[in-house]
Structure 1
Amino acid sequence: MYVMVYGRRTVSCHTGNQTSWPTLKTMCTRSFSATARVKRTRNIPPSDIIQQLLKLHPKDSLEGVQLVLAQHRLDHKAVRCTMQELKAQKRFDLVGILFSETLKHGGAKVGLKEFTAGISACARAQTWQLAVHLFNSMRKAKVVANVFSYNSTISACEKGGQWQLAMQLLDSMRTATICADVISYSATISACEKGGQWQVAMHLFDSMHKVQVDADVISYNATISACEKGGQWQRAVHLFESAHKTKIHADVVSYNATISACEKGGQWQLAVHLFDNMHKAKVNATVISYSSTISACEKIGQWQLAVHLFDRMRKAQVDADAISYSATISACEKGGQWQMAVHLFERMRKTKMHTHDISCKESSNS
C-alpha cells in the first residue's frame, strides 16, 4: 500500500508493484487526455441532420439544404462538424452549399478555417461559381484571406476552365501582399493550359524563377501540356529536359504530354525515344502513351513499328482503346497491309468497342 498526495487530496492505493509518483502522474494525464479525445470525437452533429443531407440528390442539393436548415438551427460548432462529416462522406457538393446558406442566414460565427474548407469543397465538386462567391464573401465577413483560401479558389477556377479569373486571383495576391507558392502558380498554369493559353502559361512558368518559387513536377506538367495543345513541341521537349536537369523525376503525365507534343509535331523518332525511356525510368506506360506513340509512327508510315507497339500493349496487359486501334489500322492501310488492317478491325469489333468512323473507312478502303 502507498499513499499518493494530489493537490489537497490524499488517495490510498493498493498494488502489488511499487509505482513512482512521476509514473502515476503520467498515467493520470494520459487518462484525462484519452477522455478528452473521446469527448471530441463525439462532438458530431445530430445524425438525423446528416442523414437528411446525405439523402439529397446533387441536382436538388440547394433546395434540400435550405429545407434542412429551415428545420434545424446550427451553431458554429454544429456547422463545422457537419461540414467535416459531409467531407468524410465525399459529398463535397453539399459542403459549399451548406456553408453558403449558413452565411446567408447568419447566426453562426464562421472564420477562415470554415471559409477555406467550403471553397476547397467547391473546387472538389467543380462548382467554381460558388467558390468565387464564397471567396468574395470573406471581405464582408471581415475574414482576411490567406494563401490557402486563394489557392483553393484558383483551383476551383482551374477546374471550371476560368483561366482569366485564375489570373486575376493570382495578381490580387500580390496586391494583398500574400506570397504565391508553387500551388498557386501550378493551378493558374493548369487553368491557362485548359484555356489554350500556352503563351500565358509559359510566362507564368518563367516568372516563378524570378520570384524564387521552385517549380515542381505538377507545374512542369501543366506547362508542357499547354505547349502540347499549342503545337509547340520544341518548347515541350525543352521543358521536359529542363525538369530532368533540375532533378525533378518525370512521371507518366510528363512523358505522355511530351510524347503527344512530338506526335503532333511529326517527330516520331523523338516520340519513340521518349516512350522507350519510360521503361528505363521505371514509369509504367498507359494507353495514352501507346496511342500517342503509335499515332506518331502512323503519320510517317512506320506501320511495322506501329504494329509492334500495339502488340506490346497486349503483352503489358494495357487495354487498347479506339484511338490506338484506329492509329494502328491507319498505319497498316498506309503501308498496304490490308489483311492486317481487316484483322485488327475484326478484333476491335469483338471487344464490343465503339468503332470510330475513321476505323470503318480505313478498313473498307484497304
Structure 2
Amino acid sequence: MSGRSRRCLLLLEKCKNMKQLKQTHAQIIISGLGNDNFALSRILAFCSDPNRGSLSHGWRLFEQIDQPTMCICNTMIKAFLHKGEFIKTIEMYIKMLQNGLYPDNYSLPYVLKACANLQNSGLGEQIHGSSVKLGLLLDVFVGNTLILMYSICGNMESARRIFDEIPWQDAVAWTVLISGYAKSGDVDTARLLFDEAPIKDRVVWGSMISGYVQNNCFKEGLQMFRLMQSTDLKPDEAIFVSVLCACAHLGALDIGIWIHRYVNRIVIPLGIRLNTALIDMYARCGNVGLARKLFDEMQQRDVICWNAMISGVAMQGEGEIALKLFSEMEKAGFRPDDITFLAVLTACSYSGMVVEGLQIFNSMSEVYGIVPKGEHFGCVVDFLGRAGLFEVAKEIVERIPSTSSPSEKAIAWRALLNACCHHRETQLAECAAEQIMRLERHSGAYILLSNMYAAAGKYEDAKRIRKMMGNKGVEKTPGCSSIEINGFVHEFVAGEKTHLHMEEIHELLQKMNKHLEG
C-alpha cells in the first residue's frame, strides 16, 4: 500500500461529518482504493453512524459494490437495525443470501432482533433453522438472541427449549429468560429461574425486581430489593426506577424518601428517567410540593416527565394547576401524547371542570390527531356524570369507535354506571350495566347495580341481580388494601386470616369499637 493510500485511510478515521467523508472518499478513489473492501467497509460504517453519517448515502454506495463481502453486508444489516428499519434489515439479509454469502454469528443476532421487533416469530423460526444448519446454535450470541426473539414474540416454550439446549448459560441468557417469563405474566416461573440462577449479577436482580413491578406485584418487588441489599451489589438507575414505581403504587412514602437519600449517598446522577420516577413517587404519595421542586430543578425534561408532574397534581385534585402545566408543556414545544391527555382529563374529572375537559377532549383528535381510548372516554363520562349531564355522557360513550376493544368500551360504560348509581339514575344504570355484562365477565357491574337497588329500597331487584351473578358463575373479587408501617408494607385482602398479627389487629379494633360506643 502506497504512502498516499495510507494517508487516505488515516483521513477516513478522522472524519467528523459527511462533507469530510465525501472529500476523503474522493481521495480514496483517486489513490486506487475505490474498490478496496476494507476502505469501503470503513466508509459504510461511518455512513451508518446515527450521529454523523447518512444511511441513505451508505445504501447508494453499497448498491454500486459488485461483490460485497460478509463484513460489508453485516455493516449494512447492523445499520438498518439500529436505525429501526427492521424490514430493510430483513431485505438486506435476503440480498446477502442471494449473493451467495452465508450468515455468520454477527449476521444472525442482528436479523433475529429485527424479527423480534417485528413480532415475526415465523421468520425467526426460519433463521433458527439456518443457525442449526450452519452449526451456529451453540454460539453464545446466537443462542442468547434466539431466546430473546422467542421471548419477545411470546413463545416462552421455545425460548426455554433454546435455553436448555445451549451448552452454557451466561448471565445474559438467565436475564433474558427471566425477563421473558415476567413480561408474559408468569412471575412464579421467573422467580423459580431466578432462584436457580448460578450467576446473580446486578442485571439478573434487576430483571426480577422489574418483573414483579411490571406485573403489579409491588410488595414482592420491594421485598426482592431488600434481598438484593444483603449482597455486595449496588443498585443501578433501572433498579431504583422500578423500586420507586413500587413505592408510588403502594403509597410507601417513607421507603421512597429512604431510596431518594440512598441515591444521593451513593452519588448516582439524577437523569431524566430517575428524576421522573422520584417526581411520580412523591406526587402519588401526596407530597406534590417536593415533586414540583424536583421538577423545577430539572435541566432537561421529556414528555414522560411532564406527564408524571401533570398526573401527580391531577390525582391531588389540583385541576387548575394541571391545566396550567399542560399549557406550559405546549409552550415549551413538547407534543402531548395520549397519556398526557389522560392525566389532564383526570384532573378535569377530579376538579369538576366540565367545559375545560370537553375542550381538551375535542383537541385530542382535532389538534393533535390522537384517537381517544377507553380511558379517555371514561374520564369524560365521569366528569359529565358528576355534573348530572347523563344524556351527554351517554352520547359520548356511544361515540366510541366500533374498532375499540371490548375492554376499552367497558371502561366508559363502567364510568357511566358508576355515575348513574351515585345519582340513582336507575333506568340508565340498567342500560349501562347490560352493556358491561355483554362486554366482559366481571363482578363490578353486578355489585354496583345491586347496591344501587338496595340503597333505593328495591330489595327484590337487588336479590335478582345477585342471583343473576350466581347463575352466571361470576365471583366477587375480594377487596385489597395496604398500609406502610415503619418502612414495611402490610397488605390485607378482604376475608383473609393469614396475617401474622391478625389477632392483635382484631383485639385493637374491638377496643376501638367499645371506645366509640362508650
TM-score band, normalised by shorter chain: 0.5 to 0.7
1:29-80 Cα deviation digits (max 9, x unpaired): 98599236556337879xxxxxxxx99xxxxxxxxxxxxxxxxxxx9x8344
| CA-CA distance at 1:243 after TM superposition | 0.9
Residue number in structure 1 paired with 2:333: 212
| CA-CA distance at 1:157 after TM superposition | 2.5
1:346 paired residue among 463, 479, 483: 463
> 1:212 and 1:278 mapped to 2: Cα distance?
30
> 1:81 and 1:295 mapped to 2: Cα distance?
43
| CA-CA distance at 1:197 after TM superposition | 1.4
1:307 paired residue among 430, 440, 450: 430
- Corresponding position: 1:254 with 2:376: yes
> 1:301 and 1:142 mapped to 2: Cα distance?
56
Q: How does 1:97-246 map to 2 (within 5 A)?
A: 97-98=226-227, 110=234, 114-125=236-247, 126=250, 127-173=252-298, 177=299, 179-245=300-366, 246=368
Are the counterparts in 2 of residues 95 and 122 from structure 1 also a CA contact under 8 Å? no
> 1:253 and 1:21 mapped to 2: Cα distance?
50
| CA-CA distance at 1:89 after TM superposition | 5.7
- Corresponding position: 1:270 with 2:392: yes
The SS at the match of 1:263 is helix
> 1:221 and 1:192 mapped to 2: Cα distance?
13
1:211-239 Cα deviation digits (max 9, x unpaired): 11111111111111111111111121111
Are the counterparts in 2 of residues 155 and 187 from structure 1 also a CA contact under 8 Å? yes
The code of the aligned residue for 2:139 comes to A
| CA-CA distance at 1:170 after TM superposition | 1.0
The SS at the match of 2:245 is helix
| CA-CA distance at 1:183 after TM superposition | 0.9
Alpha-carbon RMSD: 4.0
> 2:226 and 2:412 mapped to 1: Cα distance?
39
% of aligned pairs identical?
Answer: 15
| CA-CA distance at 1:299 after TM superposition | 8.1
Q: Which has the higher contact order (CA 8 A, sep 6+)?
A: 1
Residue number in structure 1 paired with 2:170: 40
> 2:361 and 2:227 mapped to 1: Cα distance?
43
> 2:292 and 2:435 mapped to 1: Cα distance?
43
Per the normalisation by structure 1, the TM-score is: 0.64
1:217-276 Cα deviation digits (max 9, x unpaired): 111111111111111111211111111211111111101111010011121221011111
Residue number in structure 1 paired with 2:207: 84
> 2:174 and 2:423 mapped to 1: Cα distance?
63
> 1:141 and 1:291 mapped to 2: Cα distance?
46
> 2:421 and 2:172 mapped to 1: Cα distance?
62
Structure 2: 5+ residue runs without aligned partners?
1-68, 72-100, 109-135, 145-167, 176-186, 189-198, 214-219, 477-518
| CA-CA distance at 1:288 after TM superposition | 5.0
Residue number in structure 1 paired with 2:487: none
Structure 1: 5+ residue runs without aligned partners?
1-19, 46-53, 56-74, 355-366
Q: Structure 1 residues 100 and 146, CA, compared in 2 at 3 Å: closer, same or farther?
A: farther
Are the counterparts in 2 of residues 83 and 95 from structure 1 also a CA contact under 8 Å? no
Q: Structure 1 residues 118 and 302, CA, compared in 2 at 3 Å: closer, same or farther?
A: closer
The code of the aligned residue for 1:191 comes to G
> 2:172 and 2:277 mapped to 1: Cα distance?
29
> 1:275 and 1:256 mapped to 2: Cα distance?
8
Are the counterparts in 2 of residues 189 and 223 from structure 1 also a CA contact under 8 Å? yes
| CA-CA distance at 1:289 after TM superposition | 2.8
Are the counterparts in 2 of residues 167 and 188 from structure 1 also a CA contact under 8 Å? yes
Matched residues, number: 288
| CA-CA distance at 1:148 after TM superposition | 1.1
Q: Structure 1 residues 79 and 264, CA, compared in 2 at 3 Å: closer, same or farther?
A: same
